[in-house]
A and B are shown apart, each in its own frame.
Chain A
Amino acid sequence: KNQVEQSPQSLIILEGKNCTLQCNYTVSPFSNLRWYKQDTGRGPVSLTIMTFSENTKSNGRYTATLDADTKQSSLHITASQLSDSASYICVVSRDNYGQNFVFGPGTRLSVLP
């Protein structure tokens, strides 16, 4: 069954600290993997998109990694800010036309002052 799992379910950190969120997937075939940030009550916003051949990709303080062999990805957030409080969703695309996206349940991150 095509699934995307994420851990932890929720995370609380202090402002300025780093954190790493995990994503494991059993999606096949695999086309690409995306991380999205979703503020409460808002639409998801793309952070990174990685294809099979990419191991790491950065977007400011966000760095995503991908291990296609173990089917794992991580999202590392450096020097967290209060505005990083959101849900972070891992999404795997199944086909070459990007039509079929499998969403993970998300990790709810709370950054406290």
Chain B
Amino acid sequence: EPEVTQTPSHQVTQMGQEVILRCVPISNHLYFYWYRQILGQKVEFLVSFYNNEISEKSEIFDDQFSVERPDGSNFTLKIRSTKLEDSAMYFCASRAGVANTGELFFGEGSRLTVL
């Protein structure tokens, strides 16, 4: 069964460092998302991406964050200068088409720990 894959599964970094989280969405999917979940809290929307551009972003997704789809298969989330409060599980998700009932498939997540 096709799945969304994320790497790394866990990354530990020092505050102020740049981090890139990678995702490979399901191959025929068109819509891509990044979410984060701080330990013990609910899943929060960061950004959605369609047709090679950001379609929507939340207040959390400030200038320190960026997304890219560099090669048609990978979908990356970059945090330019990490802060302690960026420590969370980051989930990538993808969806096939324009049908509003399209299933959203999540990856297993990348746990980011900022020290």
Chain A interface residues (CB < 8 Å from chain B):
31-32, 34, 41-46, 49, 51, 89, 93, 95-101, 103-106
Chain B interface residues (CB < 8 Å from chain A):
4, 31, 35, 41-45, 48, 50, 55-56, 89, 91, 93, 95, 98-109, 111
B100–A95 touching, CB < 8 Å: yes
Interface SS of chain A: loop
Known: A44-B91, A98-B95, A100-B48. 6 other contacts (CB 8 A): A34-B104, A42-B109, A98-B100, A100-B56, A103-B35, A105-B41
Nearest opposing residue in chain B for A102, CB measure: B45
* Shortest Cβ-Cβ A-B pairs, 5 listed: A43-B106, A105-B42, A103-B43, A98-B100, A96-B100
A31–B100 touching, CB < 8 Å: yes
* 26 chain-A/chain-B pairs, Cβ below 8 angstroms: A31-B100, A32-B101, A41-B109, A43-B91, A44-B43, A44-B91, A45-B106, A49-B103, A89-B42, A95-B100, A96-B100, A98-B31, A98-B99, A98-B101, A99-B31, A99-B48, A99-B55, A99-B56, A100-B48, A101-B45, A103-B35, A103-B44, A103-B45, A104-B42, A105-B41, A106-B42
What residues of chain A lie closer than 8 Å to B95, measured between beta carbons? 98
What residues of chain A lie closer than 8 Å to B42, measured between beta carbons? 89, 103-106
A98–B56 touching, CB < 8 Å: no
B108–A43 touching, CB < 8 Å: yes
B89 to chain A minimum Cβ distance, whole angstroms, is 8
Question: A97-B98, A98-B31, A100-B56 known; A46 and B104 CB under 8 Å?
Answer: yes
A105 to chain B minimum Cβ distance, whole angstroms, is 4
Question: A32-B101, A105-B42, A106-B42 known; A44 and B106 CB under 8 Å?
Answer: yes
**A93-B100 Cα distance, complex, nearest whole Å:** 8
Report which residue of A43, A44, A96 has the largest number of chain B beta carbons within 10 angstroms of its beta carbon: A43
**A97-B93 Cα distance, complex, nearest whole Å:** 15
Nearest opposing residue in chain A for B95, CB measure: A98
What residues of chain B lie closer than 8 Å to A98, measured between beta carbons? 31, 95, 99-102, 104
A43, A97, A106: the one contacting B100 at CB < 8 Å is A97
